[in-house]
Structure 1
């Protein structure tokens, strides 16, 4: 603020006015972003978690996957609060392509991919802050922000994610398996059907020639456990 010849932000004091009641005198806050990074184990795991999250609701808001398949949003456009979970490596790669993002380190991008780094970001907007006693700088405490994050986090609501092990399938065969699991008509040419059937059977043990509605078969399942992510020593030494 001093660089722009403006007074610094201050927490202010809580004063009582006869006609207005108790009120803070310090800086007023119009938006707060709460972010936490998570480790999923691999880039594939991180992608799988995103699609799992997209099936869930935040209040009345169903998760929505953005077209690039790297972000799930809840309450996009809300004037109250919104949140998203995204692949950090994908975001850094986008920044790297821009003129102002040339400082992004390729080593950091690769590390984010290797550990399957997900970032959850919760945006609290003016209406939320006013209604929850967080609109003045003096009202805000780390304890209260932690409470809000725990209450609104989508990742914390689902500590384990079970996903089908279809990593080795081609995208076309994976799509066929997905339609079969949902009981949808496959609508494949004869040669394509047998090629997909062989690939799926060899790599997952599922036979799509068996009617899904008659025999319930499931591909191998793995459990992804998300853990809060701490920056490694090499990152701290390199970037402080």
Structure 2
């Protein structure tokens, strides 16, 4: 079955009454089939929880002669100097606040990748719905004289296999779409622990939680980031302290302070090409938001184990905590530390009721159960989604 002509641009499906006969390969866009959950034009506002979208990677081929947009070409030649292959390098499109995205067009296929919710903004503490992200990407493409990414139309083709040196039909059919194809999408949400102290204590505990036997947990940046599945070709998830990340990137002080006060923890779920194909969500037209929400909630479930054992030593500064734990475990601290370090640590621990100069400390540090309740955060009224200086 041949591919059909490209449909209307994304978010604006071609209207047709239920009584009108269907065209070959045409499909009505219903609330179930539409990944935005609506058939109206893209919203001007970000999506409600459970997530918004950060990074998008997608491409679409056209039967048109389009402007070539690249940053030069990379070629491969054989030993005789004959051209074997060539590919266009992605062109970086710069936005305000030292942000950029990558766009490439070889004359027929348009490729985009980048953090749409961050582009042209001082921060992406809150981002946009998938519908809004695609609208923003299409605005960028229009400025470059390129056609928009579309949902396209659905068609089916026979599934073939190799047998006896030839290709034979298996009798099965496979769905395909004429529009844009996704290779990566990042789903993101913010949660509040109530304070930066509770957020740090929560991250310490989270670092002990594996998602499953095959998906290992790991920590980075002195415990500020906890992730699962790093290097996976399918799914990668991570949690991190948002104030620390904003501070490193020079975000406004009031925004950093807000994240500290609220104890903001960011959860991000990256779905890569292999996972999108397995879910049947590799095409923009076939993307099922219900599946994405179910997977997001499944991977986020590890954050729901919010009750954990916490002892008073967790309140100590990081450089004193190990010394205190070793001392209470019976280690001879004075024998393994330099004198100057030993007395400096002793001075730092005295206000907490620990004197490591005493051979045995009679103070009993009993573990207690501490419950940290995470709550989904919505953007406060003062938060600006479209900053005046943004491109």
TM-score greater than 0.5 by the shorter chain: yes
Q: Does 1:9 align with 2:143?
A: no
Query: Which of 160, 184, 202 matches 1:31?
Result: 184
- Structure with the bigger RCO (C-alpha within 8 Å, sep 6+) is 1
Q: Does 1:123 align with 2:270?
A: yes
CA displacement at 1:187 relative to structure 2: 3.3
Alignment of 1:92-111 (within 5 A): 92-96=246-250, 104-111=251-258
SS at structure 2 position matched to 1:17: strand
Contact 1:44-1:167 at 8 Å conserved across structures: no
Deviates more, 1:65-74 or 1:81-90: 65-74
CA displacement at 1:200 relative to structure 2: 8.4
Distance 1:58 1:195 in 2: 39
TM-score w.r.t. length of structure 2: 0.50
Alignment of 1:69-88 (within 5 A): 69-88=223-242
Match of 2:375? 227
Give 5+ residue unaligned stretches, structure 1.
97-103
Query: Is the radius of gyration larger for structure 1 or structure 2?
Result: 2
Cα gap change, 1:229 to 1:161, in 2 (>3 Å): farther
| Deviation readout 1:15-74 (Å, 9 max, x if unpaired) | 122345322222110001011100001111111111111111122232211134311121
Distance 2:278 2:241 in 1: 31
Higher helix share: 1
Match of 1:100? none
Contact 2:209-2:302 at 8 Å conserved across structures: no
Higher strand share: 2
Match of 2:279? 132
Query: Which of 36, 39, 42 matches 2:195?
Result: 42
Match of 2:353? 202
**Alignment RMSD, CA only?**
3.3
Contact 1:43-1:117 at 8 Å conserved across structures: yes
Distance 1:237 1:84 in 2: 24
| Deviation readout 1:89-127 (Å, 9 max, x if unpaired) | 11111111xxxxxxx321101110111100000111111
Q: Does 1:51 align with 2:204?
A: yes
CA displacement at 1:141 relative to structure 2: 3.0
CA displacement at 1:155 relative to structure 2: 4.3
TM-score w.r.t. length of structure 1: 0.79
Query: Which of 296, 305, 313 matches 1:149?
Result: 296
Distance 2:148 2:317 in 1: 57
Contact 2:201-2:314 at 8 Å conserved across structures: no
Distance 2:352 2:256 in 1: 35
Cα gap change, 1:170 to 1:237, in 2 (>3 Å): closer
Contact 1:53-1:154 at 8 Å conserved across structures: no
Distance 1:128 1:114 in 2: 36
Query: Which of 142, 163, 170 matches 2:310?
Result: 163
Cα gap change, 1:114 to 1:232, in 2 (>3 Å): same
Contact 1:176-1:186 at 8 Å conserved across structures: no
